[in-house]
């Protein structure tokens, strides 16, 4: 197509939106809702992947002793762990170590100046196994030792996060299909009505020898404008909502750290969400517009 033909197509596309403003608004709203929900599910999935990665980098098993555990009980467990065939790495944390870590996490050291941590904070052991599948049996072995209070396994967290990822993926696909069909129906009706309102103009273009591409292009441009607008509305809304949630759930004034259990920063989510919405919105509306106007553009 020539330059003046493209100019005409863009002009006709914008005029088509103005001819039927209510239908255009309905198409944009439906598409924006679809992309907004898709953005929310994408954010959930990305954060579940991130938290799974963080969890996988942590010691998978944490053994907590009772505060009243005797020195012999602690030594017996330490000897068992050091000689265990399935243990790849072991770290011993004294009550003092745990107290210092607690103060670092909480801040304001002056509040804990006279705190007697020996009465409240126990010994702990951080364990990493060579065979993660051996975890449940190892937990049973360790719990049987006197002085052991509990055995926490990160595998339970990993299982929960994997469940969240699977749920968000399935729910996201179902919601996307349902809303994509709804958006496609609204978009198809918008294009058909626009084509019918310009039927006389289309017939004249056919008689004077206009090509299929020349007749179709204004309607495709109209669809692209709707897709672009819906994608921008959905992106801005979802990014603002996610930003509020992240600000509330992440520690106040905390700097994002890849190794910490924190939600991904809004700046990282924004680019991905915007790109997904633009590609999906424009591609869907372009495809629906091209299919819907096909029979009207036969020459």
DSSP assignment string, 228-241: HHHHHHHHHHHHHH
Position with higher pLDDT, 22 vs 35: 35
Distance of CA 52 to the CA centre of its chain: 13
Banded model confidence at residue 124, pLDDT cuts 50, 70, 90: very high
Residue 206: its pLDDT value, please?
Answer: 67
To which residue do tokens 């990282």 refer? 268
Contact of 107 with 34, CB cutoff 8 Å: no
Q: Which of 80-84, 86-90, 133-137, 174-178 has the highest mean pLDDT?
A: 80-84
Same domain, 28 and 142: no
272-291: pLDDT as tens digits = 889 988 988 888 888 887 77
Choice among 75-79, 86-90, 102-106 with the minimum mean pLDDT = 102-106
Residue 233: its pLDDT value, please?
Answer: 94
Same domain, 44 and 75: no
Position with higher pLDDT, 114 vs 236: 236
Residue 236: its pLDDT value, please?
Answer: 94
Position with higher pLDDT, 134 vs 266: 266
Residue 167: its pLDDT value, please?
Answer: 74
The last residue of one of the domains, among 146, 168, 184, is 146
Sign of CA dihedral 182, 188, 193, 197: positive
Same domain, 132 and 216: no
Residue 59: its pLDDT value, please?
Answer: 56
For 100, the domain range is 67-146
To which residue do tokens 């330490």 refer? 78
| Partners of 150 in beta bridges | 64
Average pLDDT over residues 132-158: 81
How buried is 67 (Cβ within 10 angstroms: 0-12 exposed, 13-18 middle, 19+ buried)? middle
Residue 169: its pLDDT value, please?
Answer: 72
Average pLDDT over residues 222-237: 90
- In the three-class reduction of DSSP (H, G, I as helix; E, B as strand; rest coil), residue 259 is classed as coil
Same domain, 209 and 247: yes
Other beta carbons within 10 Å of 110: 5
**Structural domain total, the chain:** 2
The last residue of one of the domains, among 123, 146, 169, is 146
């Amino acid at each position: 197509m020539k330059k003046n033909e493209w100019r005409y197509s863009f002009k006709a596309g914008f005029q088509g939106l103005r001819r039927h403003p209510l239908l255009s608004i309905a198409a944009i709203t439906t598409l924006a809702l679809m992309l907004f929900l898709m953005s929310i599910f994408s954010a959930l999935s990305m954060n579940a992947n991130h938290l799974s990665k963080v969890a996988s980098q942590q010691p998978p098993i944490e053994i907590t002793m009772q505060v009243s555990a005797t020195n012999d009980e602690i030594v017996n467990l330490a000897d068992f762990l050091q000689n265990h065939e399935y243990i790849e790495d072991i770290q011993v944390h004294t009550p003092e170590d745990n107290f210092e870590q607690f103060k670092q996490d909480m801040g304001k050291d002056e509040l804990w100046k006279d705190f007697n941590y020996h009465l409240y904070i126990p010994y702990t052991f951080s364990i990493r196994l060579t065979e993660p599948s051996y975890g449940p049996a190892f937990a049973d072995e360790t719990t049987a030792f006197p002085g052991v209070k509990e055995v926490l396994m990160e595998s339970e967290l990993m299982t929960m996060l994997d469940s969240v990822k699977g749920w968000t993926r399935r729910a996201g696909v179902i919601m996307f299909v349902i809303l994509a069909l709804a958006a496609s129906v609204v978009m198809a009706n918008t294009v058909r009505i626009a084509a019918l309102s310009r039927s006389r103009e289309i017939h004249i273009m056919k008689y004077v020898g206009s090509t299929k591409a020349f007749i179709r292009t204004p309607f495709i441009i109209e669809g692209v404008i709707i897709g672009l607008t819906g994608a921008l509305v959905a992106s801005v809304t979802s990014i603002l909502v996610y930003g509020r949630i992240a600000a509330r759930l992440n520690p106040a004034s905390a700097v994002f750290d890849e190794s910490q259990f924190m939600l991904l920063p809004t700046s990282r989510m924004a680019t991905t969400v915007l790109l997904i919405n633009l590609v999906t919105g424009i591609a869907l509306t372009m495809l629906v517009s091209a299919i819907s106007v096909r029979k009207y553009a036969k020459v």
